[in-house]
Amino acid sequence: MAIATTTQFGQTAEYLSQARRLLRQREYRRAIELIDRHLLDTTNTPVPMEDLRTYAYELLGKRGASATRRAPVNLRRGVPVSLRRPVAVDLHRLTRSQLERILTWLLSGEIRAADEALRADEYADAVAACEAAERIDNRSTHVAMVHARARYELAVLALNGQAADLDDVAKQLQKAGWLVMRAAHDPTVRDAHKKLSVAIDDVTAIVERRRARTARADAVSGVVQRFNRLVQHYDDKDQLISHVQLGNARASLAQIRADVDRLLRVNAPDSPAGMILVDLRGQCARYKEHLERVGRRIRAD
């Protein structure tokens, strides 16, 4: 009797392994047939078979029979789905905890790899493992939280490095924010969700402040370069031989001076950028006087 029990246990484990493989490969119809034939009345399994069967039926209705046959199956039409159950069945809706239990079993390899990578501070590996899990099913709140944490940590590392790409950091944080929102409805991760959400918001605010400073610095640098190009272009006396050319130079200078005044409204005069702008404003005034002298000379000629 003991031998029979052991053999039966081994067969159940093999059928469970097959069902898991079929579900991971999106072979939902075949998974349902296997569950109905060999597993439906089985107990002491990692996940209840009724729940697993409901999970397979749910995805069959959304994604189709297999990875190559993606037309959703309308279960209300009585279309034969399982060889054992040729009519539509009244399936209960999985609760969040039931779905998470199934996904923890189904995605156990990816979840283990992601958790280990996160503990080892290998954040890129954790992201890769989470993405692999999400290609199978992206509804696990555990995976979403690990994925969000890994992307948050990558963003912090990049932000603390030299010459951080703020746009890339902002994208990482945005993805982390989306992921953590996917776990918002799960009460089992409420505290971790709240803590990570606050951390993401705090770092996002830092990034936005840095981006604003960078944008202001770029604007100051740009207006300085425009003034220098203007002076260099008209430094050649041959470029100022007519009223038209003089008018063009004056118009360009006026626009530069207007931009300097605008930037001074957002940069304190005693800040590094502000001091550059104050000096540039003086150079603009002196160059305007130079252009006026040139204009008088042109009129005299």
Query: How does pLDDT run across 123-134, given as a tens digit for each residue?
Result: 999 999 999 999
Q: Tell me whether residue 256 is exposed, middle or buried, using C-beta atoms within 10 angstroms of its C-beta: 0 to 12, 13 to 18, 19 or more.
A: buried
What's the CATH code, domain 107-211? 1.25.40
Tokens of 129: 């493992």
Provide, rounded to the nearest whole percent, the portion of the chain with pLDDT above 70: 84
Q: pLDDT per residue over 191-205, tens digit each?
A: 999 999 999 999 999
Of 185, 99, 108, nearest in space to 145 by CA? 185
Q: Kindly tell me if the per-residue pLDDT of 175 is higher than 90.
A: yes
| Whole-number pLDDT of residue 74 | 53
Q: Tell me whether residue 245 is exposed, middle or buried, using C-beta atoms within 10 angstroms of its C-beta: 0 to 12, 13 to 18, 19 or more.
A: middle
Q: For residues 136 and 127, what is the distance between their CA atoms, to the nearest angstrom?
A: 15
Of 7, 60, 11, 2, nearest in space to 33 by CA? 60
Residue ranges of domains in the chain: 2-97, 107-211, 236-300
Q: Tell me whether residue 235 is exposed, middle or buried, using C-beta atoms within 10 angstroms of its C-beta: 0 to 12, 13 to 18, 19 or more.
A: exposed
| Whole-number pLDDT of residue 1 | 37
More confident position, 35 or 237: 35
pLDDT, mean of residues 39-51: 85
Three-state DSSP state, 80: coil
Alpha helices of 164-242 — where are they, by DSSP H?
A: 166-182, 190-235
Are 64 and 70 within 8 A, CB to CB?
yes
